[in-house]
Amino acid sequence: MRKSIYAILKRTGFLLLLMMSAILSARSQSKTDSLLSLSLGIGNNAFSLSSNPIFIRHTAIPTFAEVGLRAELTNGTFRRPQDFKRQRNFGFGATGLSKVGDWLFYGSFSYGKNYRDSIKYANVARPYSGNPFITADAVGGNWRGDGLDASLQIVMPSTKKWQTAIKLDYETEQNSRDNDPKPLNRLLNYTIQPSLAYKFGLYNTLSILAGYSYMDEMVETGYYADQNPIIYSLRGYGEFTAGPVVTAQRFTKGYGYLFGADYLYKNDVEFLFGLRYGYQTQDVNDGIAKPIFIGGLDEFKGEAFASYTSGSNQNGFNASAKAWFRDGTGFDPVFSAINPAYYFSGVDTKIAYWKKRDRYIFNFAVYPGLSYTNYNEGIAKTDWTSVMLHQDAGFSMINQLTKKTTFGGELKLGYHFNLQKEIIINRPTQLSPILVTPYYQFASADYLKGAFNLSVTYRNANVSYQLKTGIDLVNTVDFGSRSIANLSLNLIF
């Protein structure tokens, strides 16, 4: 009798183990497939379009943890004049979504080591961020640096009507160049963005948000140099002052505000509408003991977006559009004038359809867009404009090859062409043919664009191993090409 009971328990335990293994495998498969679908843009995702953590609960993101290694190579001559010609980036990172009671925690962390070659006329971390008052030299050279990014989004327990969340972003990097005048820069950015939502009726949610951002960049030049080459203090792309500098420090500090509102209707269909409006200001000073005011930047920015989704993650349709603008002006104390001024705007749209058939999920999408760029320098009497039309189309697929192996693929093709362009340089300077004209040519060039991405995911019990690789290509007739190749290996729990 005891042997019979033991045999029954043994068989039952074995069957329970098989069932638990099957359940865990199914959960792992569902989790990795859901993450892969989201990465390929399949399904509705109010969270990714709005960047409002309130909507994490409304998006089909499973709880997960992912860690991985990555490598990226960017190379080519189609670039803005202060950009690098080639960049190698190596790093690791982690991201995940966790649920503790009714709390949701969505976070990410990444560290990268980068090597950037052939940079001239830019000693700051990001020369095209908008602030024109930067230091530079004509020597140029190769840079190396470290960067760290971290983000945490917390969705707090909700009541029947109210929901709160907060988003925290932190970013820092340091870059240096080995050759004289051996410049070094350190950049810090952080953002705090709380949001509040009110649910009325069964299907309607209204959310408001506010954000505060802070930036701090320090550039050191000449502290470890053996020679003292000419240093340019740029006041735009055409205006500058120049001279030999033994040592120098430049500090840029700024802050910004963001306000927004979102409306979400979610039932058999999903409709999202959102507005954002923000302002940032930056002041630039030289020296520590007696800071000298070099210039300032004020920028207003805004966007409006809408999205409509019907169907499910197995079979559905999505149409979305976003209109945006950036309006910036610099103040030059030397001339007591507004200089320079820029205005960027655009409309980006997407129409997508996806369908599951047997072991496959297919996704077709088109991405029409229009952009407008205007840059003006009153002191250098320079003004240029470019209007570009973008037309991209993409096809992606997820194929469950076996019970444990999933294949993902994506192909994108597009053509971007100029509708209108004009440049006027009435008071050319030494830097006009070096920085102004090449930037205009870059912003107004016709080009073909393509991308090809592949992924293979293998599930083993509670862990999935995912290998991703891809390449983005841009090709022009007159200004060369640009490519970005990437490779990553990730573990998903």
pLDDT at site 224: 65
Residue with tokens 């329970």: 16
Q: Give the torsion through C-alpha atoms of 39, 43, 49, 51, to 10 deg.
A: -70
Residue with tokens 């506010």: 210
**Residues contacting residue 439 through CB under 8 Å, at least 6 positions apart:** 80, 81, 237, 375
Average pLDDT for the chain:
90
Question: What are 102-148's pLDDT values in tens digits?
Answer: 999 999 999 999 999 999 999 999 999 999 999 998 889 999 999 99
pLDDT at site 279: 98
Average pLDDT over residues 246-270: 94
Question: What are 265-295's pLDDT values in tens digits?
Answer: 999 899 999 999 999 999 999 988 789 999 9
pLDDT at site 19: 30
Query: Alpha-carbon Rg of the chain, whole angstroms?
Result: 26
Closest CA to 146 of 102, 170, 113: 113
In the sheet with 230-234, reading across from the earlier edge strand, the strands are 135-136, 230-234, 240-244
Closest CA to 188 of 251, 271, 272, 275: 251
Question: What are 393-422's pLDDT values in tens digits?
Answer: 999 999 989 989 999 999 999 999 999 999
pTM: 0.90
**Position 258 pLDDT exceeds 90:** yes
Question: What are 69-97's pLDDT values in tens digits?
Answer: 999 999 999 999 999 999 999 999 999 99
**Position 23 pLDDT exceeds 50:** no
74 class by beta-carbon count within 10 Å (0-12 exposed, 13-18 middle, 19+ buried)? buried
Written as six digits, the tokens of 347 are 């409309």
The span from the CA of 143 to the CA of 119, in Å, is: 8
**Residues contacting residue 319 through CB under 8 Å, at least 6 positions apart:** 307, 308, 349, 350, 351, 352
pLDDT at site 17: 34
pLDDT at site 43: 66
pLDDT at site 13: 40
pLDDT at site 130: 92
pLDDT at site 225: 64
Please state whether 300 falls in left (phi above 0), alpha (psi between -120 and 50) or beta: beta
The span from the CA of 128 to the CA of 340, in Å, is: 13
Question: What are 155-175's pLDDT values in tens digits?
Answer: 999 888 999 999 999 999 999
pLDDT at site 455: 95
**3-state SS assignment for residue 95:** strand
pLDDT at site 4: 40
Question: What are 319-374's pLDDT values in tens digits?
Answer: 999 999 999 999 999 889 999 999 999 999 999 999 988 888 999 999 999 999 99
CB 117 within 8 A of CB 144: no
CB 80 within 8 A of CB 122: no
59: confidence class by pLDDT, cuts 50, 70, 90: confident
9: confidence class by pLDDT, cuts 50, 70, 90: very low
Residue 442: alpha-carbon gap to chain centroid: 21
**Position 38 pLDDT exceeds 90:** no
Span of 6-15, 272-281, 295-304 with lowest mean pLDDT? 6-15
Q: What percent of the chain has pLDDT over 90?
A: 75
Closest CA to 372 of 421, 436, 311, 316: 421
